[in-house]
Copies of this chain bind each other. A is one copy, B any other.
Amino acid sequence: MLQATFYHAGCPVCVSAEKTIVDALDTNRYKVDIVHLGEQANRIDEARNKGVKSVPALLINDQVMHINHGADLADLG
């Protein structure tokens, strides 16, 4: 399975993007993890190291896609 990770912070922009884009992914080919960085602050460094600068962001095959703009990662911790 390929890996997709959706990082968010529970903000309205995040929730809206999550509903739309995560639902549209092909879950027969992609394992989709959803990470709430507000609740899993220990994963903020992981996100930063992957190149995430703001949320919501979708990471697929090590490529970061910043989707619209909810909050800067720097504001999360």
Contacts and interface: CB of A to CB of B under 8 A. Distances in A.
Contact of A30 (B24, B61, B64): B24
Interface of A: 2, 4, 16-17, 20-21, 24-30, 58, 60-61, 63-68
B63 A16 contact: yes
Contacts of A2: 24
Given A20-B61, A21-B21, A65-B68, 5 more contacts: A17-B65, A20-B63, A21-B65, A24-B25, A26-B27
A6 B56 CA distance: 18
Nearest to A28: B26
A65 B63 contact: no
